[in-house]
Amino acid sequence: MFPEPLYRHGVYRTTKQWRHRKERYRLVGSRCKNCGQLWWPSREGKVCGKCCSRNFEEYEFSHEGELFVNFPEEKRYMIPPLQGFEVYGDTRIYAMVKLPEGIYIGPTEIVDCKPEQVKNGMKVKMVTRKFRRESNGNWSYSFMWTPVSD
Amino acid sequence: MRRVAIAGVGITPRNNTYLADADRKSWKHYVVESCYNAIENVSKGLDPKDIQYVVANYHGEAAVEAGGIGPVISDTLGLHPVGVTALCANCTGAGVGAHDAYGLVASGLYDRVLVVGFDKRWDMLRFADKRAMGGDVEYDYYMGFDHIQLQALLQEMAYRKYGKEKILEALVTYRMQMYDYANRNPNANLYGVPCPIKTKEELMDIWELEPGSGEINPDFWKRLPGAKPVEGASAFVLVPGDEAGQYTDKPIYIDGISYRCNSHLLSSQMYYPVPELVGYDAVDFAAPRLAVEEAYKMAKIGPEEVDFSEVFESHITSIIPTLEATQVPPEGKTVDFILNGETGLDGRLPTGTDGGRGGFGVTSGSNQSDGIYEAVVQMREEAAGRQVPKADVCVVVGMQGEMASSAVLVLRRN
C-alpha cells in the first residue's frame, strides 16, 4: 500500500507532528516578551537565548522572504534519502531562507520550480506541501518555499 | 587544579586488513581493544583494576543498538563497579570526554581516568539515518535532511565566501595531502592506497562544466580523492601531571582545554543573538574559535608556539574554519595557507598527520580521540615516516555535527 520500506524506526509519532503544527503550517515562532528577541523554531515553554526569560508569545513570521542559499540534490550526487523520503528521489532542492525579520529558516526546501530557475537572492513565499507519512500512514504537511512570480 | 597528563594511548587500526574482520566485531570489541591497548601503553605499568572512572563517547543516540550504555561499558571492560559517563557528541565527543575527564583528574576527584571514543557504523539497518543524528534532529532530521545535505548547503555558502574555484582547489590539495600522510601510517585506512590523481591540475583543469559557467563538472566529484568512513575506537589514560613520571617516561600534558557550543540548527547559527556568537554565521563555525581562544589562554600560549595540529577536516567546510580557529594561518588567509602547502609535513602547521579524518578514516565517535592519539605519537617522536620536525606543542580542534560545538586541547610535551 505504501511505497516506503517496512522498517520505519526513523518515523516520528503523530503526536510530534501535532506538537509542531503551528510551526509547520503557519511558521509560528516565538517573541521574547522581556527583550523582544524573535526566535524560530518556537521557544514556547523554553528559555530566551538572549536574556534567559521564559516569558514568550507566539509570533507568526513573514510568509515571504529571500532565498539565502540553495543546493539542488541532483547537482552533485544522489544521497540515499532518509526513511520516509524515498519517494522524492534526487529531486529535492535544499535551501535556507532569510525573512524580513532577520531570521533564517533552514534547512528547508524549494518546490514547484526547476532547479535551474532557482537563484540565491530571489524572492520566495511559503507554501504548504506534503512531506512524509506519519506512523499511522497519513501524510503530514509542512512549509516549503516557492519563487514569487513577478 | 592539578596539571593533567596523558599516560597511555590506544587505538584500533582503520586499515583494510583490520576492517576485513569488521562484521565479526561489535562496538564492544573496539572499545575493549582500544582501552586495553591504552592501558598496556602506560609504559611503567597500570593494572586495569586501578582505573577509577571512564568517560566514553559514541556518535549519538540511536547509533548503537543500546541506550544508557555506561554500565554496559563498565561491564565490557571488566571494571565493575567503576562508573562510566557516556557522551553523545558526534565527532567532537571524544574531545568532550577529554574535557570532562580532565576536570575529574584536575580537581583531585580521581587519579586514573580512561577516555574512549568509538563508532560501529555498519550494524545499522540504514546508515543515512544514523548519519543524520548529528544536528538539531527535531527540525533537520524530522524534515528529512541528512548531515551530508546540510554540509552541501554549508559548502555552497563557503563557495560564496571564498570563491568556488579556490575552495575546490583547496579541497583537492588537502585530499592529496591526506593520501600522502595516510601512506606513511600503517594504521590508516588509505595506507597502501595510491592517490587516484597525480597532480591537482588533473581535476582543476576539468572542474567547470563549461568555462565561465561556474557549474561544477560531475566528473570532478567522481574523480576527487574521497574521505573514507570507517569504524573503530581510540582511548587514552589521564593521570595527575605531577605523578605522570610514575606511569610513563613520555607523559604528554594537557595544558589547555575548552569546550564551546553554538546552535545545532544551521539557520540559528546565522543570527544567534548573544555577544560571543552574533558576529559569526554558520560557515564561520564560531565554536572552535571560542574554544581555541579559551584553551590558549589557559595554556598561556599564542598561535606562534603551536608546532602542529590535529583538526576535524573530513570536508572542506570543516577544514577551513577549524584551521582558521588555530589562529596560525593569517586571518582570512586559511585557504591560501592550504594551497601553499602549509599543512604538509614541511609546512608551518603540519595537520592531519595520521592521514586526517579523511585518510586515517572518519570514525565519528572516535574522531577526536584519534587525533589525540596521533598527537601523542608525534610528541613522543614515534611517528616514523610521518614524524613532524618539531612536536613540542599541538592543538587538537574538534567539530560536532553541523558545526555546533567544538572541544579543543592544547598538548605540551614538557
Query: Which of A104, A105, A109, A130 to probe by mutation at the B interface, max B CB count within 10 Å?
Result: A104
pLDDT for position A11: 63
Chain B: residue whose CA lies nearest to A95: B153
pLDDT for position A92: 87
pLDDT for position B148: 82
pLDDT at B275 over 90: yes
Instruction: Report the distance separating Cα B133 and Cα B120, nearest Å.
Output: 14
Q: Tell me phi and psi for residue A67, to 5 degrees.
A: -70, 120
Instruction: Report the distance separating Cα B154 and Cα A66, nearest Å.
Output: 17
Are the Cβ atoms of A104 and B149 closer than 8 angstroms? no
**Per-residue confidence at B139, pLDDT binned at 50, 70, 90?**
confident
Are the Cβ atoms of B267 and A40 closer than 8 angstroms? yes
* Spatial contact of A55 and A32, defined as CB atoms under 8 Å apart: yes
pLDDT for position B229: 86
* Spatial contact of B382 and B43, defined as CB atoms under 8 Å apart: no
CB atoms within 10 A of CB A14: 14
Residues of B within 8 A of A120 (CB-CB) are 160
Instruction: Report the distance separating Cα B339 and Cα B169, nearest Å.
Output: 7
Higher pLDDT, residue A115 or A135: A115
Q: Which three cell numbers stand for residue B338?
A: 592550504
Is the peptide bond prior to B81 cis by the omega test (within 30 degrees of 0)? yes
Cβ contacts of B223 within 8 Å, gap of 6 or more: B196, B197, B202, B203, B206
pLDDT tens track for B346-400: 999 999 999 999 999 999 899 999 999 999 999 999 999 999 999 999 999 999 9
pLDDT for position B124: 67
Q: What is the mean pLDDT of residues B245-256?
A: 98
**Per-residue confidence at A150, pLDDT binned at 50, 70, 90?**
low
Beta bridge partners of B114: B54, B237
pLDDT for position B403: 87
* Cα-to-chain-centroid distance, residue B21: 24
Q: What is the mean pLDDT of residues B193-205?
A: 96
Q: What is the mean pLDDT of residues B284-288?
A: 94
% of chain B at pLDDT higher than 90? 82
Q: Find where cell 613520571 sits.
A: B245
**Per-residue confidence at B66, pLDDT binned at 50, 70, 90?**
low
Instruction: Report the distance separating Cα B288 and Cα B295, nearest Å.
Output: 10
Residues of B within 8 A of A80 (CB-CB) are 126-128
Residues of A within 8 A of B272 (CB-CB) are 49
Q: What is the mean pLDDT of residues B60-87?
A: 84
3-class DSSP assignment, residue B76: helix
**Per-residue confidence at B345, pLDDT binned at 50, 70, 90?**
very high
Which alpha helices (DSSP H) does B273-315 contain, by range? 286-299
Query: Which of A51, A76, A88, A108 to probe by mutation at the B interface, max B CB count within 10 Å?
Result: A76
**Per-residue confidence at B53, pLDDT binned at 50, 70, 90?**
very high
DSSP letters for B5-73? EEEEEEE---SHHHHTTGGG--HHHHHHHHHHHHHHTSTT---GGG--EEEEEES-TTSSS-SS-HHHH
% of chain B at pLDDT higher than 70? 96
In sign, the C-alpha dihedral spanning A117, A123, A128, A131 is positive
Chain B: residue whose CA lies nearest to A19: B138
pLDDT tens track for A13-66: 788 888 989 999 999 999 999 999 999 999 989 999 999 999 999 999 999 999
Are the Cβ atoms of A82 and B271 closer than 8 angstroms? no
* Cα-to-chain-centroid distance, residue B98: 12
Question: Secondary structure of chain A in the HEC alphabet?
Answer: CCCCCCCCCCCCCHHHHHHCHHHHHHCEEEEECCCCCEECCCCCCCCCCCCCCCCEEEEECCCEEEEEEEEEHHHCCCCCCCCCCHHHCCCCEEEEEECCCCCEEEEEEECCCCHHHCCCCCEEEEEEEEEEECCCCCEEEEEEEEECCC
pLDDT at B240 over 90: yes
In sign, the C-alpha dihedral spanning A27, A28, A32, A36 is positive
Q: What is the mean pLDDT of residues B195-223?
A: 94
pLDDT for position B127: 67
* Spatial contact of A59 and A23, defined as CB atoms under 8 Å apart: no
pLDDT for position B63: 53
* Spatial contact of B188 and B176, defined as CB atoms under 8 Å apart: no
Instruction: Report the distance separating Cα A131 and Cα B144, nearest Å.
Output: 8
pLDDT for position B176: 96
Q: What is the mean pLDDT of residues A105-118?
A: 92
With vertex at residue B402, the alpha carbon angle to CA B401 and CA B405, rounded to the nearest 5 degrees, is 70
3-class DSSP assignment, residue B147: helix
Are the Cβ atoms of A82 and B138 closer than 8 angstroms? no
Beta bridge partners of A124: A65, A147
pLDDT tens track for B88-125: 888 999 999 999 999 999 999 999 999 999 998 777 65
Chain A: residue whose CA lies nearest to B215: A75
pLDDT for position B402: 85
Q: What is the mean pLDDT of chain B?
A: 93
Higher pLDDT, residue B144 or B110: B110
